[in-house]
Amino acid sequence: MANQMKEESIIYRLITSPLQRFAKIEGLGGILLLAATVLAIFWANSPWGNVYESIWQYKIGIDADTFHLKKPVILWINDGLMAIFFFLIGLEIKRELIIGELNTPKKAALPIFAAVGGMILPVMFYTLLNKNPDAAQGWGIPMATDIAFSLAIINALGKRVPVAIKVFLTAFAIIDDLGAVLIIALFYSEDLHVNLLLISVIPLLILFIANRFGYYSRFVWIVLGIAIWVLFLKGGIHPTIAGVIIAFTIPIKRKIEVKEYRNTLTELGQKLDKSTAAESMILTHEQAEQIHELEQVIRKVQSRLQEQEHKLHGLVTFFILPLFALANAGVVFNMEEGLDWHIAMTIAVSLFVGKFIGIPLFTWIGIKLKLTELPTGIKFSKIFGVGLLAGVGFTMAIFIANLAFLNQPILTNSAKIGILIGSFCAGVIGYVVVRFSTREYAEKLKEKEDSDGKITGPDIKEDL
């Protein structure tokens, strides 16, 4: 019985350790993201605003006779580095779909209902509130949730937020953004190359087949991943979506079970104890072989998916997201060109109220129709806080605004201010609501932690 409980504890830690490790750094990551956002706004509106603009608009890349890929720095960040962020999100979604909080059809359907509500209601609000015919094309602006900023806000709360809530927010934000990208492709794009998108299916099939047979080579995945990214980019689909799709081709299955891993560790430990020259500055040939065998065993007990999650968390949190915020948050408040405050407030209200009502409403409809169910231990009241955080629609909303109001600087500037107002209100109020609604969870979690801040048992989800 004791061995079984110990094995269950090991399995639990292997499954949850990536998110627990991420929880230790995500608070600082949220602070860095906020600092980068504030810095960008001040910099863009300072006397050195032209320097800010020139840095991100400076073009770099490849410009050859047969191949052209030269883009501004800001697009390399948004389309390139952010693909890594989406790749990490895809890894977490896959893990939760297979062994986590979304591992049943009803649980997996939950973020779909939430995302649909989070898209339909903001569009309805915008359509009803907008009185300017010239701004009719802006209906898609309040649709998308900004994954980076909304997750940074909820991550700033640390471990007091249940993992299931983070997974739910991540899942429907991904679906929400996929919906927004589809809307862009159908209504705001004019250059969709179907032939290139069909070609991208070939390397994707290779990766999925390799995953099916348990094969994994980092070199192969990087080369084919870059090829898929380029084909998506040239094909007219936002290339960050390639990161999500490629993540689903990373193997999750371990090559050895935990019991075999534990027995092998014990055996290798005994061999090392019996090895000679234990105090020597270098290992003996025998010890080196045993260490190599130990490394192989460790690689086999941890899936490639978990390995990639662990390696990417720090890069994404401390570099990619802050850089992304610094490049994108510099909205210029150019009052000389005038503002349409009606459009600004229409977008702010549609983003804030539309998400707040749409996500809980459609989640409730899905539950009442018995087509979905809430994750274990999560009460419906917590969905309202998530609905508020979903109103942070910064990046994708600004992107759509630039497309919808092309060559209309007054409407574009007004839309950006509306996005800032709506996102700020959603972020601040959402943070307060989620913090208050998870107070009881945080107290129980603290009781379950030992002196080192670690969870003392695998039954924490059931108890909370």
- pLDDT, tens digit, 9 for 90 and up, residues 392-442: 987 778 878 878 887 888 898 889 889 989 999 999 999 888 888 777 766
Calpha distance 204→199 (Å, rounded): 9
* Helix segments in 58-104, DSSP class H: 73-75, 82-99
Residue 347 pairs in a beta bridge with none
pLDDT at 22: 44
pLDDT at 362: 94
* pLDDT beneath 70: ranges in the chain: 1-30, 100-103, 158-159, 185, 189-190, 254-302, 334-338, 376-377, 441-464
Q: Which residues contact 138 (CB under 8 A, 6 or more apart)?
A: 126, 130, 343, 347, 400, 401, 404, 405, 411, 415
Q: Is the dihedral of CA 285, 288, 294, 300 positive or negative?
A: negative
CATH number at 170 reads 1.20.1530.10
Calpha distance 413→405 (Å, rounded): 9
Calpha distance 246→263 (Å, rounded): 34
pLDDT at 455: 47
Helix (H, G, I), strand (E, B) or coil at 408: coil
Interior/surface letters 39-57, b for 16+ CB within 10 angstroms, e for the rest: bbbebbeeeeeeebeeebe
Interior/surface letters 147-175, b for 16+ CB within 10 angstroms, e for the rest: bbbbbbbbbbbebbbbbbbbbbbbbbbbb
| 323 in a structural domain | yes
| 71 in a structural domain | yes
Selection from 137, 155, 193, 157 nearest residue 347 by Cα: 137
Taking residue 353's Cβ as centre, other Cβ atoms within 10 Å add up to 19
| 428 in a structural domain | yes
pLDDT at 359: 94
pLDDT at 272: 64
| 277 in a structural domain | no
Length of the chain counted residue by residue: 464
| 186 in a structural domain | yes
Q: How do residues 72-116 score in pLDDT, each as one tens digit?
A: 898 898 888 988 988 887 887 787 777 766 667 777 788 889 999
> Can you read off the two tokens belonging to residue 13?
């830690």
Is pTM beyond 0.85 here? no
| 348 in a structural domain | yes
| 158 in a structural domain | yes
Residue 69 pairs in a beta bridge with 62
- Total number of domains in the chain: 1
pLDDT at 12: 43
Show the domain range for 334.
Answer: 18-192+236-253+303-449
Calpha distance 321→315 (Å, rounded): 9
> Can you read off the two tokens belonging to residue 281?
């500055």
**DSSP code for 375:** P
| 281 in a structural domain | no
